[in-house]
């Protein structure tokens, strides 16, 4: 008898695994697996909550829920708290399976939402893969307040399979996003190459046409056109550099020197300590320095830029300084525009600060200080 039971449980797990493997869309997958689970176990109804790290939940799948929980487009399932979510969120769902009176059903009875179809309790199983938790699977049957050990063991097995499948699907989605990003970058680079060619022809044509006329006004207009297309070429170059941290593979200091050269600036670099930063710190510094160098090239009207890095165990400090025009900057006022603001925001994203000093006629110094935390180096 026991053997027969064991066989049918194995069969259930096998069929659940097949269902999970045949689908890549999370919502469809969870709906199908829930349906399958209920039909294989003879349980009547079930629903799945996905729960994010902040404890926000979403009803992602449900099957044959009682009328009382489906009212107003399943609103009772999409708002308010309940005991199973509370316990999940404060870590009290230690056991793999738990039988819980359903608070939503109690509310439904009290507030007269409709027929509860004899449901009062449900089994609640956290969906996990390794240490990660993704949400809850709840299953119930009319007038069922007890689940046998065998039933619970089976539910645990199924929940583990579902957790692993959720992990697989989310990883695949992330990978897809990365591939899309790479594709977008590739397209942008191709477009950049062809637009660059056109702009370059425009520069040459304007220059050539200038030689064909003696009219000073037309000459001026053509010079202006030539200058505009040259500026556009420069902007296109800057744009392509910003697409992705290209060039960072040789380290941030080399990348900055190259970027500055492209902008027509000469960098004087001074590094104290070992520049061995985590890629996300490096990318933050890279983006901030890019904007700062753009500003030197656009506003300072000097060629030389001084960049320093000081790295200690706890902090990395980067300064970017020019001795150009400078500008009137009031530290306690709101930042004037997007470029400076984005530098500050990027620094804050990695728990750092952005300090700007500038004086008219004396130049500008940007200081970025970022803590190096355990594990981010």
Ligand X SMILES: Nc1ncnc2c1ncn2[C@@H]1O[C@H](COP(=O)(O)OP(=O)(O)O)[C@@H](O)[C@H]1O
- For position 295 contacting ligand X by CB under 6 A, the verdict is yes
**CB-wise, 116 or 295, nearer to Mg ion?**
295
**Residue 339 in contact with ligand X, rule: CB under 6 A:** yes
Contact 226, 203 (CB under 8 A): yes
Q: Which stretch binds ligand X (CB under 6 A): 115-123, 130-138, 291-299, 346-354?
A: 291-299
Other Cβ atoms less than 10 A from the Cβ of 17: the count is: 16
Among 207, 299, 323, 355, binds ligand X (CB under 6 A): 299
- What is the SS3 assignment for 97? coil
**Calculated CA dihedral for residues 345, 349, 350, 354, nearest 10 degrees:** 20
Residue 355 contact partner, candidates Mg ion, ligand X, none, CB within 5 to 8 A by sort of partner = none
Binding range to ligand X, per CB under 6 A, among 226-234, 243-251, 263-271, 331-339: 331-339
Tell me the β-bridge partners of 56: none
Residue 245, C-beta contacts closer than 8 angstroms, at least 6 positions apart: 255, 282, 283, 286, 287
Least distance in Å: CB of 372 to ligand X? 27
Q: Decide if residue 112 touches ligand X (CB under 6 A).
A: no
> Is 142 in contact with 44 (CB distance < 8 Å)?
yes
Binding-site member from 42, 337, 374, 375 for ligand X (CB under 6 A): 337
Report in angstroms how near the CB of residue 212 gets to ligand X at its nearest.
37
Is residue 364 a contact residue for Mg ion (CB under 5 A)?
no
Q: Which residues, numbered 300-319, are part of the site for ligand X (CB under 6 A)? A: 300
**Shortest distance (Å) from residue 343 CB to ligand X:** 8
Residue 314: other Cβ atoms inside 10 A? 8
User: How far separated are the first and last CA of the chain, in Å rounded?
Assistant: 59
In the bound complex, what is the minimum distance in angstroms from residue 20's beta carbon to ligand X?
50
The single residue among 237, 339, 356, 369 that binds Mg ion, judged by CB under 5 A, is 339
DSSP assignments along 291-325, one per residue: HHHHHIIIII--SEEEEEEEE-SSEEEEEEEE-S-
H or E element at residue 267? strand 266-272
Residues 293-322 that bind Mg ion (CB under 5 A): 295
Q: Does position 327 bind ligand X by CB under 6 A? A: yes
Q: Which residues pair with 126 in a beta bridge?
A: 136
Binding residue for ligand X, selected from 32, 62, 151, 322, defined by CB under 6 A? 322
Q: Which residue is nearest to Mg ion (CB)?
A: 339
Q: Which residues bind ligand X (CB under 6 A)?
A: 295-296, 298-300, 322, 324-327, 336-340, 364
């Amino acid at each position: 008898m026991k053997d027969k039971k064991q066989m049918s449980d194995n069969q259930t797990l096998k069929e659940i695994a097949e269902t999970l493997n045949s689908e890549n869309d999370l919502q469809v997958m969870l709906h199908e697996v829930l349906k399958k689970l209920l039909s294989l176990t003879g349980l009547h109804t079930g629903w799945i909550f996905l729960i994010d790290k902040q404890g926000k939940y979403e009803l992602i799948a449900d099957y044959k829920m009682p009328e009382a929980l489906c009212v107003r487009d399943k609103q009772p399932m999409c708002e308010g708290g309940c005991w199973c979510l509370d316990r999940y969120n404060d870590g009290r769902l230690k056991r793999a399976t738990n039988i819980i009176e359903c608070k939503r059903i109690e509310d439904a009875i009290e507030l007269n939402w409709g027929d509860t179809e004899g449901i009062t309790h449900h089994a609640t199983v956290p969906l996990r893969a390794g240490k990660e938790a993704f949400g809850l699977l709840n299953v119930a049957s009319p007038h069922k307040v007890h689940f046998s050990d065998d039933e619970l063991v089976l539910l645990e097995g199924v929940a583990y399979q579902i957790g692993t499948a959720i992990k697989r699907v989310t990883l695949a989605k992330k990978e897809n996003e990365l591939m899309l990003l790479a594709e977008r970058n590739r397209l942008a680079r191709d477009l950049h190459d062809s637009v660059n060619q056109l702009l370059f022809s425009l520069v040459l044509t304007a220059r050539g046409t200038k030689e064909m006329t003696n009219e000073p006004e037309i000459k001026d207009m053509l010079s202006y056109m030539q200058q505009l297309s040259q500026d556009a070429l420069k902007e296109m170059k800057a744009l392509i550099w910003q697409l992705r941290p290209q060039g960072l593979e040789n380290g941030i200091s080399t990348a900055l020197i190259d970027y500055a050269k492209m902008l027509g600036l000469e960098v004087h670099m001074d590094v104290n300590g070992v520049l061995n930063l985590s890629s996300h710190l490096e990318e933050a510094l890279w983006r901030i320095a890019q904007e700062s160098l753009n500003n030197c090239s656009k506003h300072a009207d000097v060629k030389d830029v001084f960049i320093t890095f000081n790295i200690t165990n706890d902090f990395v400090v980067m300064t970017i300084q020019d001795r150009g025009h400078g500008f009137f900057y009031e530290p306690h006022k709101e930042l004037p525009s997007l470029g400076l603001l984005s530098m500050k925001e990027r620094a804050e994203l990695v728990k750092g600060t952005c300090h700007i000093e500038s004086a008219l006629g004396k130049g500008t110094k940007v200081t970025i200080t970022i803590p190096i935390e355990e594990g981010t180096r």
